């Protein structure tokens, strides 16, 4: 009878609980509107772990993490767990977090050589997928050092060397691997590709050297031709530690001066600052062609001739430039060839020298007060006797070339 009475009490208690459950809402129940989001917060049902775990807000996850990284376990067990953790991140293509896990595993300094080799190899793979080829190669090298017969590390080392265009290194990796596994198709394919790329790179290297040598010879010949003509090259910004006299501008007489002049010729002496990038060159007959700039200060205009033959006169070009069709800015039609005056400026003294239009470019460039700045001879063009010309020349010392 006592047992029966106890059962009746239990039933009454359950009935009371159910009645209370119907009237009172469960505090920790999922919200109907976002139950899937809340469901994903439960560790057992999580698809991915959060980036950072806050022990206060996520004590359950912190507990699980502490179990995984339990200090009571051996370094080998910890390293293996971290390796597995890194592998999971790797499968999710979260290579950065995989690298962190593998690195932490290596920090455990376990005595399992094979496990450490795997950690290095896996970290090399993660670095490889992130494009960190140098880091990946370093890890593959470390793995092979620990385990010389680790084929995966050898393959990764070959792939990294290929990506770094170190084809000789890639061949060395492949040869070492094929000694261990002669039938490995991946290594065979890598070796064939590396050999092909190395041959192509060697050919390209030889061609580049031949081209560079040819260009160097052409520059030296060009410099010699300019020096032979007595043409002075003026640097835009002379070095403070060098004297800016005419001998330095010409390159000097010694080998050191020639080397400096050649450098100036390459960097500034013949490299035009015009948008066309035109510069002086020498044809097969040894004739020089210069980029020439004409300045029209009255109208703030310019003309640029990319290849002015040194043997041509200024009138040869002006007759074409100001022939039947005049430029649109010359509304008064004053710029007729027979009305024009041409000047160059002495960069040292600031004096102007009037040029005979019938003289050749070479004849003018050889004048002792004429210098070529930035690889481009420049000349000022004015209309003879015009009010602007008189105003422009006022106060300036003008000399006529003899």
Same domain, yes or no: 114 and 156: yes
Q: Which residue range forms the structural domain that includes residue 259?
A: 232-269
Report the CATH number at residue 112: 1.25.40.10
Of 242, 269, 296, which residue constitutes the final position of a domain? Answer: 269
- Residue 352, domain member (yes or no): yes
Same domain, yes or no: 75 and 187: yes
Same domain, yes or no: 293 and 250: no
- Residue 135, domain member (yes or no): yes
- Residue 24, domain member (yes or no): no
- Residue 212, domain member (yes or no): no
Chain-centre distance for alpha carbon 72: 50
C-beta separation of 110 from 79 below 8 A: yes
Of 179, 200, 221, which residue constitutes the final position of a domain? Answer: 200
- Residue 171, domain member (yes or no): yes
Same domain, yes or no: 365 and 253: no
Report the CATH number at residue 341: 3.10.20.90
- Residue 213, domain member (yes or no): no
Same domain, yes or no: 257 and 287: no
Same domain, yes or no: 244 and 304: no
- Residue 14, domain member (yes or no): no
Domain count of the fold of the chain: 3
- Residue 38, domain member (yes or no): no
Same domain, yes or no: 346 and 290: yes
Q: What is the pTM of this model?
A: 0.54
Of 269, 296, 315, which residue constitutes the final position of a domain? Answer: 269
Please list the pLDDT of the chain residue by residue as tens digits (402 residues): 545 455 555 566 666 656 665 566 655 555 666 666 666 666 666 666 666 676 666 766 666 666 655 567 899 999 999 999 999 999 999 999 999 999 999 999 999 999 999 999 999 999 999 999 999 999 999 999 999 999 999 999 999 999 999 999 999 999 999 999 999 999 999 999 999 999 999 999 999 999 999 999 998 999 999 999 999 988 665 444 444 444 444 444 444 444 444 444 444 445 555 545 788 999 999 999 999 999 999 999 999 999 999 999 999 999 999 988 889 999 899 999 999 999 999 988 889 999 999 999 999 999 999 999 888 999 999 999 999 999 999 988 998 876
């Amino acid at each position: 009878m006592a047992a029966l009475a106890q059962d009746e009490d239990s039933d009454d208690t359950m009935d009371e609980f159910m009645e209370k459950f119907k009237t009172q809402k469960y505090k920790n129940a999922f919200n109907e509107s976002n139950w899937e989001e809340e469901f994903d917060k439960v560790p057992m049902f999580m698809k991915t772990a959060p980036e950072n775990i806050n022990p206060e807000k996520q004590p359950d996850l912190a507990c699980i993490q502490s179990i995984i990284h339990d200090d009571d376990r051996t370094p080998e067990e910890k390293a293996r767990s971290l390796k597995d953790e890194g592998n999971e991140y790797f499968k999710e293509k979260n290579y950065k977090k995989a690298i962190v896990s593998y690195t932490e595993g290596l920090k455990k300094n376990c005595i399992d050589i094979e496990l450490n080799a795997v950690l290095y190899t896996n970290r090399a793979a993660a670095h490889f997928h992130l494009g960190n080829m140098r880091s990946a190669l370093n890890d593959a090298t470390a793995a092979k050092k620990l385990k010389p017969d680790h084929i995966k590390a050898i393959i990764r080392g070959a792939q990294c060397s290929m990506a770094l265009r170190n084809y000789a290194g890639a061949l060395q990796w492949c040869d070492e691997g094929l000694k261990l596994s002669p039938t490995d198709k991946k290594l065979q394919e890598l070796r064939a590709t590396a050999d092909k790329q190395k041959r192509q790179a060697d050919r390209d290297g030889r061609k580049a050297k031949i081209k560079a040598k040819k260009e160097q010879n052409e520059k030296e010949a060009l410099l010699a031709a300019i020096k032979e003509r007595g043409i002075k090259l003026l640097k835009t910004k002379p070095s403070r530690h060098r004297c800016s006299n005419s001998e330095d501008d010409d390159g000097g007489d010694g080998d050191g001066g020639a080397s400096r002049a050649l450098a100036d010729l390459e960097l500034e002496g013949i490299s035009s600052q015009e948008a066309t990038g035109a510069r002086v060159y020498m044809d097969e007959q040894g004739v020089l062609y210069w980029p020439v700039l004409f300045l029209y200060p009255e109208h703030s205009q310019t003309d640029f001739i990319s290849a002015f033959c040194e043997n041509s006169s200024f009138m040869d070009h002006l007759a074409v430039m100001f022939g039947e069709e005049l430029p649109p800015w010359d509304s008064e039609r004053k710029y007729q060839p027979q009305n024009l005056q041409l000047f160059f400026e002495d960069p040292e003294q600031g004096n102007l020298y009037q040029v005979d239009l019938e003289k050749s470019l070479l004849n003018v460039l050889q004048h002792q007060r004429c210098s070529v700045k930035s690889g481009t001879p420049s000349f000022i063009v004015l209309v003879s006797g015009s009010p602007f010309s008189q105003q422009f020349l006022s106060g300036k010392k003008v000399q006529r070339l003899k």
